[in-house]
Chain A
Amino acid sequence: MNVAASGVWQKNPALAWREIDEETVIISPGESVMHELNDTGSFVWRNIDGQLSAMDLAGLLVEQYDVTQDVALTDTLSLLEELSARKLLLPAETQGGGAR
């Protein structure tokens, strides 16, 4: 796991995306690749704002869904890592970014 719980992320500004009926479709124009997030992935994506940390996002998941903090954090970090690997997320300029 290369993503820190304290890390802060922002959406890649080059992306096109749309949340449609609680699922999110994302296209990275440079690669012309489409990605899809399910409802909880979309919930996290919706709340990624360049201000909230991974821990904050996990907290929001706990409030929204019937899930423990540990599971929420594990899943959030996993998602952020994958989104980062796909260049859909970038380290936020504040706090020096989201990776360790």
Chain B
Amino acid sequence: MSSAVQIAATPLMDRLIARTVRNRRPLSVHFDLTYRCNERCVHCYLDHDDHGEMTTAECVDALEQLAKAGAFFLTFSGGEIFLRQDLKELLTAARRLRFDLSLKTNALLVTPGRAEMLKRYGVRRVQISIYSAEAAIHDAITKVPGSLQRSLAAIPLLQEQGILVKIACPLMKQNLLAYRGVMALAEQLGVPYVLDLTITPMMDGANGPLDHRVSPEALLPVLQDSALHACGTKVIPEDFGSAPVLGSSVSSGVESSAYEDLPCSAGHNSCYVSPYGDIYACVQLPMAAGNLRNKTFEEIWTNAPALERIRNVRESELPLCSSCEIRSYCERCPGLAWMEGGDLLGAYERACALAETKAKVSGVTNAKSAWHKKISVETGALPAHAGPASKHIGCVKTKEKEILYA
């Protein structure tokens, strides 16, 4: 049995991803505990109401089922998680079940005592949304006066407990050029940050938040910013935003060749749980696969037709996108393709427009997506009474990318 008992070598994460994709284990789970929130961010995709959240017992049961199925990287998010009065009980359960636990919060309610509690229950990482280093901009987005000051005050409290903190900065019209300030702030605080271009519709499909989204043309200053490129611009799949950066024993990024021809991890080795027990492949792919109140997680994960449909998507077989000449510049998200265009396999305007913009920034002349080429041809063939091509396009949402300060 020489070397039968051993600790395997690096890169561990790639192997773990490959194994869990191959065996369909829900390695990473995003669990929204509530949609209630103490901020009212202008771009938020949630309604902030409680339509019948799972009880403590239901949440604990869900966690037990997830652990049994192989879930390991667990992110509690919301809404604002500290509005759950039973957060301590849920953290206790997560600790007992040995999850690697991360939180997403606005941190308004983090106190020294709560920071200590998070450490005690094994929370390893906390992501906090910061929209600007200027209170006037940040607070205007959250609609809570003083919120920037309170969120920032939480960071050293968490750091003192040895908890890793990351700043997430969604970029929209209100704060597009504030990212330089956020970068400087993050460096000053000694925390990593993510600039996120993603603004999505409401979970129910309403497009209100999209009014705040920046046009591809207006993003040019960001896309051309040498400071970001110097830091190493990087694309991070949303589903593994919660995957750990684990030093030298792990692959450098959260991208993995293990996904090969798959669009992302959603439904393969990651999933989303809503406060009401709904299971989705991803929070950005709200195609209900089932509900924990009437089925077990195992039943849903193994048998749900919605998940099977998502699992069958292959990048190389996308009817239009697979032949697109500027595909390498595109961050097409299957969830947003479905939400915006109603087609899991389709192209959608935002991704195409952004890919074209990025291709142009990179020096590609006459950059045009396969979809826009197709639309051009079809528009020419349309009868005179038909509307403009843009009317047929109609989609206004994208996953886009996150720019990581490496």
Contacts and interface: CB of A to CB of B under 8 A. Distances in A.
| B is bound to A | yes
Interface of A: 14-18, 20-21, 23, 25, 27, 29-38, 40-41, 44, 61, 65-67, 71-72, 75-76, 78-79, 82-83
B7 A41 contact: yes
Interface of B: 1-8, 12-13, 15-16, 19-20, 23, 25, 27, 67, 70-72, 98-101, 122-124, 162, 164, 244-247, 249-250
Given A20-B20, A25-B12, A37 B250 contact: no
B162 A67 contact: no
Contacts of B99: 16, 18
Nearest to A86: B7
For the complex, would chain B's binding face be called helix, strand, loop or mixed by DSSP majority? loop
Given A21-B19, A65-B1, A71-B1, 6 more contacts: A25-B12, A25-B16, A33-B247, A61-B5, A75-B3, A79-B5
Contact of A32 (B4, B8, B25, B247): B247
8 contacts: A29-B162, A32-B124, A33-B249, A34-B249, A38-B8, A40-B1, A72-B1, A79-B6
A67 B162 CA distance: 43
A67 B4 CA distance: 10
Nearest to A62: B1
Contacts of A25: 12, 16, 72
Nearest to A39: B4
Contact of B70 (A18, A30, A61, A79): A18
Given A15-B98, A34-B250, A82 B124 contact: no
Given A16-B100, A20-B20, A37 B8 contact: yes
A44 B247 contact: no
A99 B250 CA distance: 30
Contacts of A78: 5
A27 B1 contact: no
B246 A33 contact: yes
A65 B72 contact: no
A56 B232 CA distance: 51
Contact of A18 (B15, B98, B245, B250): B98
Nearest to B1: A67
B25 A21 contact: yes
B27 A75 contact: no
A78 to B, nearest CB: 7
A34 B72 contact: no
A16 B249 contact: no
| Residue from A16, A23, A27, A61 having most chain B Cβ neighbours under 10 A | A16
B127 to A, nearest CB: 14
Nearest to B125: A32
B5 A75 contact: yes
Contacts of B7: 35-37, 41, 79, 82-83
A20 B1 contact: no
A19 to B, nearest CB: 8
